[in-house]
Amino acid sequence: LIEAGAIAILLAVVLMLIYIWFRFEWHFGVGAVVALVHDVALSIGMFAATQMEFNLSTIAALLTIVGYSINDTVVVYDRVRENLRKYKAKSLPDVLNLAINDTLSRTTMTSVTTLLALVVLFVFGGAVIQGFVFAMIWGGIVGTYSSIFIAAPLLIILGLGDRHRSGGDQSVAKPAP
């Protein structure tokens, strides 16, 4: 069961990497996968720390966390890509800051709404669903955090800023002779 769950999670991460790679660039794909691995590792770590039962519903929650996290990351990355085209003269850190600020209210509202529903399920759902809901609560918090504070800054570390600067310099209109 654990082995099949690990394979399912790994397959989901690889498929999402391929999707991000084709939709954006390799920088974005690597950043998204690092954020996903972070989310899954911290979620599994939380189960180990709390000694809660790790079962099939927990694996389903981990797969859901991967989907939820990649969704938040894609929203931020989409805005980064849009702002890179729109603000060619701005530095990458400024573009990232603008993109995160643009998406922060949406990300916060979505996360809080989901969290409220999950807390109600955790309190009133009973023991059968408690592990799933606990994983979803923790994963939602960690996924929101990673899409803002891990996935976006990794673009700078991975060298997208160098590419952006050189691309920005080339796109500046030159005066006619």
Model confidence over 58-109: pLDDT tens digits?
888 888 888 888 889 999 999 999 999 998 888 889 999 999 999 999 999 9
- Greater confidence (145 vs 14) lies with 145
Position 176 confidence tier, pLDDT thresholds 50, 70, 90:
very low
pLDDT at 145: 92
Q: Which residues contact 49 (CB under 8 A, 6 or more apart)?
A: none
pLDDT at 1: 66
- Is the model's pLDDT at 170 over the cut of 50? no
Cα angle, residue 136 at apex, residues 14 and 131 outer, rounded to 5°: 110
Residue 80: both structure tokens together? 């980064």
Burial of 140 (0-12, 13-18, 19+ CB in 10 A): buried
Cβ-based neighbour number of residue 60 at 10 Å: 16
Could you read off the pLDDT of 11-35 as tens digits, one per residue? Answer: 887 887 788 778 778 888 888 889 9
Cβ-based neighbour number of residue 177 at 10 Å: 3
pLDDT at 166: 53
| The domain over range 2-169 is classified in CATH as 3.40.50.720 | no
* pTM, 2 dp: 0.79
Position 169 confidence tier, pLDDT thresholds 50, 70, 90:
very low
**Domains of the chain, residue spans:** 2-169
